[in-house]
Amino acid sequence: MRVIVGCMLLVLMALMVVAQKPEDATRKLWDTAFIGSATNKKSAHRRRGAYRVATPNVPVDNVVPDTVVGVTIWRLRPANRSDSGERLIVHDDDAVKEWMPERISANTRLVQGDRLRISVEAVRTGYLYVIDREQYADGTLGEPYLIFPTTRTSAGDNKVAVGRLLEIPAQDDSPPFFTMKKSRADHVAEVLSVLVTPEPLEGVQITDKAQKLTEAQLASWEKNWGGNVGRLEMTTQGQTWTKEEKDANTRALTASAPAPQLLFYRPSVKPTEPMFVKLRLNYRR
């Protein structure tokens, strides 16, 4: 009897896998439905949310879906009892604080003391690197620092894969957020460079802290992999952290999970080519 019941369960599980629609199981980021007909736009909005083209000079044609990189910037605020989203629990000086991560636009003006988190997603295998440098009022830039990966976050694991969401800092980091802080009076922005490469970057060692890079390294990467980058951005913002996104550190995202706030793309680029994208976080004047 046990053998018969076991066989029946196996058959049922197989039928469930077959019956599951591919789009329900496979995580995808690029879908030109949001720039197609009105019917397609409604369908895309129901599934993932509507996007607008933030870089109209970069065409959305001939984009290979596997090359797209998704980025979401989260700003933390104190949680309220009425909040319905997931909370980030932080232990600070023997006190427990609850923060509510909210999505913000790439154009949101930030102030000193703002607490931010970054989540990055790709739909291919590879490696993620994030570089930060300060920008000043005269347009000059500070020295570039590799802020991810470090051995303090996920033991230095910077591998990307379909459905894997990499959070910077990680939920178990202390603290699990960055605090915006000006280094001087004319410090006007943080310029983030996000790289997704098929192989680990040569000459970059993962250490326990942010490390300074050379201007030549960064210039070479941007020249080779950062040309003609376009950006799509969700038309809505302010959505709070969901359970699917919170649990993404232990399980893969599915097609029905919330999409990234920003999508970066390069037309006519192959999945085997690295992607280099830049994002500027501005301070409020």
Nearest to 182 by CA among 134, 117, 116, 115: 134
Q: Give me the mean pLDDT over the 171-184 stretch.
A: 92
pLDDT tens profile 31-48 = 754 554 444 445 444 444
Q: Which residue has the higher pLDDT, 153 or 59?
A: 59
Residue 36's pLDDT is 47
22 within some domain: no
Number of domains into which the chain is organized: 1
Beta carbons within 10 angstroms of residue 159's beta carbon: 13
Which of 21-35, 67-81, 120-134, 141-155 bottoms out in mean pLDDT, i.e. has the lowest?
A: 21-35
20 within some domain: no
Residue-range definition of the domain harbouring residue 261: 27-282
Residue 81's pLDDT is 86
pLDDT of 101 strictly over 50:
yes
d(C-alpha 245, C-alpha 251), whole Å: 9
Residue 155's pLDDT is 86
18 within some domain: no
d(C-alpha 180, C-alpha 154), whole Å: 22
Beta carbons within 10 angstroms of residue 243's beta carbon: 10
Residue 49's pLDDT is 57
User: What is the percent of the chain where pLDDT is above 90?
Assistant: 67
d(C-alpha 21, C-alpha 33), whole Å: 18
13 within some domain: no
